[in-house]
Amino acid sequence: MVDRRGTPVGASSLPWGGPGARHAPLAFHPAMHRHPEPPPLTTDSAVFLDIDGTLLEFAPAPDQVKVTTKVFTLLTSLATKLNGAVALVTGRAIADVDRLFPELRMPVSGQHGCERRTASGYRHVHASPAEATDRLRVAMHSLAAEHPGLMLEDKGITLALHYRRVPHLAAFVHRAVREMLAPAVAGGAGLQLLTGKMIVEVKPVGRHKGAAILEYMDEAPFAGRTPVFVGDDDTDEHGFHAIHARNGWSVKVGPGATSAEYRLADVSAVLAWLTAFDKRSRAALPHNA
C-alpha cells in the first residue's frame, strides 16, 4: 500500500531496516533502505540542488572538488528545460560557486541561506554580527593553526572548520568550537553552530537553506511549480522541511536518518536521475527543433 507520492504506508523513516534491527550495515546499499527513489522530474518542477555530496563528490578540501563537463552541461540543459527554475542551494559562498562554474550565472543560495542570488541577478545578503564573528574568526584560526589537518574556511558571513583530514579530532573540534561560541550566544550575538559532514560551522541565527528555498518559491520562475530539493547532509534538513511545507519532493542522497521522503544512493545516482529527465525532454522535442 502506498501514499499519493508512492511512499510505502507505514514504512520506517530509518535509513536501514526496521525497529528490530540490531546493527546498521557497514556499507550503504540502495536495496537496504526504506525510502523509495524519487519519481521522474516533470517540466513543472522547480529544482533545488545542494553541491558537495550531491552534484559533486567530496574532496579533502573544498577547493579540490572536480567539476566535470557532464555536470556543467547537465545544469545548463536543466535550466533550459525548466525555464530557469533551477537553483543551487549550498553552504559554499556564492563567489566560490561562481569559481566552480565560471560560465554559469544561475540562481544560487550560499552560506546556508545567508546570501542569495535571484534569477534576475539581484543579491540578498544577511550579515553576521561583526564583532562576535571577528572574535570567533581569530579563535578558530588559532585552533586550526595548532592542529595540522584542520582547515578554517572563512566565507565572510559564516566560518567553517573542516576536520575531514583528521576525523579522529571530531569530538575535540565540536567541543572546542561550542566553547568558543558560548560567550557570543550568552551575549545575544545571534550566532549558532551548524554541524555537517566532517565540519562545524558558525552562522547567523534564523538563516538556513529552507528559508532560501521558500523565498525562491515566491519568485519567478519558481512560483507555481512543484519544488524538489536534493541534498546529502544534516544541513539540508531545513530544506526538506521547507519542501514539505510547499507539498514538494525531498530527496536525501546517501545513508543517514532524514526527514526526506525519497533517497538516491550517491552522486552518480543523482546525476543519472537528472540525466534521465534531460533525455526524456530532448526526446519530446520536435525532430526539427
Active site residue ranges: 50
Q: Determine the 3-state secondary structure of 65 from DSSP.
A: coil
Q: What is the largest CA-CA distance in the chain?
A: 65
Cβ contacts of residue 222 below 8 Å, gap of 6+? 46, 85, 87, 119, 216
Per the CB < 8 A criterion, the answer to whether 202 and 171 are in contact is no
Q: Determine the 3-state secondary structure of 280 from DSSP.
A: helix
C-alpha span between 63 and 98 (Å, rounded): 12
C-alpha span between 260 and 245 (Å, rounded): 12
Per the CB < 8 A criterion, the answer to whether 57 and 284 are in contact is no
CB atoms within 10 A of CB 99: 12
